Amino acid sequence: VIHDIAVVGAGPAGLIAAGRAREVFRTGFDRSPSILVLDGNSGPGRKLLLTGGGRCNLTNLQSDVQHLASRYGREGRALISPFSRFSPHDCIELFSRLGLETKVEAESRVFPCDDSAASVLAALLSYCEGPEVEFRYGETIAGIESAEPDGRPRTYHLESRRGHRFEARTLIMATGGFARPDTGSDGSGFELLTSLGHRINRPDAMLVPLAVREKAVTSLMGVSLQDAGIRVLLSPPSSDHGSAKSGGLRPADERVLEKRRGKLLFTHFGLSGPAILNLSGRIGELEQEYAAERSRGYRLIIEINPSPDLGEEETDRLIRDRCAANPKKRLRNALEDLFPSRYSPVRDDAVAAILEGRAGELTREDRRILVRAAKGIRLTFARRMSPEDAIVARGGVPIDQVDFRRMESKTNPGLYIIGDMLDINRPSGGYSLQLCWASGWVAGEAAVQFLRG
């Protein structure tokens, strides 16, 4: 049999493409389509089930398409067309039609009301349900050829590792990116596209957690800060941070390279959470920009400010008031809210020593040190975690090889490339899935249009 459409990859992008193709095919042909969905895993959507910590942040509710597209960085312009066809509002509407209600949380992140990624997958599968769509699991595609026999329209021939062969008039590639190969998206789809003449950009993990040098950070594992100030500093070798000598003072020649704000999470190796993931790409650039300095002993310091709205003067006043009210108390008790004891493992030695003193005996100089120290927990950047730990990995099909009005390959007519396969910067916050939905929706429609001729 020659199928109308073969979809390789039963992740979010492939599933929505199959569902949309089935839906639009029904109007316009006097027969049913034959859509084949192939996946190497034993079931669909393995990565989708992990999204948003199992809650699935399925889109980001931005109303302005230009603004939405701009969130994807330089390549974002290409997305204006697919997002005009399938916006975050359309996403919410589609899922509502499929029986899944959603809610909007902080930073416009959209989640299912029941906080379950499994419900999102179930809704998607219901979208594809019907005799027109056949699912074949355990079929990792290892070879693709496109043949154009004399006088007959071109078809795509697929062969799986098991030796099964499939043939289709159009092909939707949705095999995912390079991140988390354990979920099935192991990059093998890119080899298939290479065999069809596509160029692939080298993977480079993008949204990754950060490891720090201070081993003591382990004791903060699980602590999260809802709204922290984050600064990245270039610190010269002389600033012996962590030793009593430095007195917790930041040397004047330390340079602020980057400032961010947002939610972060301490992990057993360092830092994670949305603000850190979004910073990780920039840190990668800074690593390269300052490679020469780092080889001379400079360090990148990540400074975390748990109360970014509290200015230096207010902090100073707060410390003075607390000391005046509790002169007999140890400073660490009198100032527990400014210097929570849970941070003590990563605290500067000099600051820790001052906090052991009595509130009534705090000198002006030590108070100055405390005011500075209250502004930040300082950790030394060690490395970005590997692509295997990434939420989203950079790399994939360069955007200039795809016509985004149809998500079609510019060199292979009837071939569509969607979702994580595209080399597009995707920030954390539901943007990655929004790209899957929009590109899959457009590709599903375009494949049917291609079949109509």
Residues in touch with ligand FAD (CB under 6 A): 8-14, 38-41, 46-48, 50-52, 56-57, 140-141, 174-176, 179-180, 183-185, 188-189, 391-392, 419-420, 430-433, 436
Give the nearest distance from C-beta 180 to ligand FAD in angstroms.
Answer: 4
Give the nearest distance from C-beta 53 to ligand FAD in angstroms.
Answer: 7
Give the nearest distance from C-beta 232 to ligand FAD in angstroms.
Answer: 24
Give the nearest distance from C-beta 88 to ligand FAD in angstroms.
Answer: 11
Nearer to ligand FAD, 13 or 319 (CB): 13
The dihedral sign for the CA sequence 47, 51, 53, 55: negative
Nearer to ligand FAD, 197 or 237 (CB): 197
Give the nearest distance from C-beta 56 to ligand FAD in angstroms.
Answer: 6
What is the C-alpha separation between 359 and 329, in angstroms, rounded? 6
What is the C-alpha separation between 401 and 404, in angstroms, rounded? 9
Nearest to 174 by CA among 11, 6, 367, 371: 11
Nearer to ligand FAD, 71 or 368 (CB): 71
DSSP result, 301-323: EEEEES-TT--HHHHHHHHHHHH
Give the nearest distance from C-beta 51 to ligand FAD in angstroms.
Answer: 3
Nearer to ligand FAD, 101 or 361 (CB): 101
What is the C-alpha separation between 245 and 199, in angstroms, rounded? 54
Q: Give the Å distances, CA to CA, from 401 to 147, 155, 199, 409, 431.
A: 20, 20, 8, 6, 21
Nearer to ligand FAD, 41 or 235 (CB): 41
What is the C-alpha separation between 319 and 316, in angstroms, rounded? 5
Q: What is the DSSP letter of 223?
A: -
Nearer to ligand FAD, 179 or 232 (CB): 179
Nearest to 304 by CA among 246, 269, 347: 347
Nearest to 77 by CA among 414, 400, 411, 356: 400
Nearer to ligand FAD, 88 or 306 (CB): 88
Q: Which strand (E) or helix (H) includes residue 175? A: none
Burial class (CB in 10 A: 0-12, 13-18, 19+), 19: buried
DSSP result, 389-430: G-SEEEEEB-GGGEETTTTEESSSTTEEE-GGGB-----SSS
Give the nearest distance from C-beta 18 to ligand FAD in angstroms.
Answer: 11
Give the nearest distance from C-beta 260 to ligand FAD in angstroms.
Answer: 19
Give the nearest distance from C-beta 202 to ligand FAD in angstroms.
Answer: 18
What is the C-alpha separation between 353 and 370, in angstroms, rounded? 11
Nearer to ligand FAD, 46 or 375 (CB): 46
Nearer to ligand FAD, 338 or 407 (CB): 407
Give the nearest distance from C-beta 184 to ligand FAD in angstroms.
Answer: 2
Q: Characterize the bridge pairing of strands 210-212 and 270-272.
A: antiparallel
Nearer to ligand FAD, 39 or 423 (CB): 39
Instruction: Tell me the CB-side half-sphere exposure of residue 386, using CA atoms within 13 A.
Output: 3
Q: Which two tokens stand for residue 24?
A: 């639009």
Nearer to ligand FAD, 229 or 270 (CB): 270
Rg (CA), the chain: 26
Give the nearest distance from C-beta 243 to ligand FAD in angstroms.
Answer: 38
Nearer to ligand FAD, 370 or 421 (CB): 421
Which three-class secondary structure state does DSSP give residue 39? Answer: strand
Contact between 221 and 272 under an 8 Å Cβ cutoff? The reply is: no
What is the C-alpha separation between 15 and 21, in angstroms, rounded? 10
Give the nearest distance from C-beta 305 to ligand FAD in angstroms.
Answer: 26
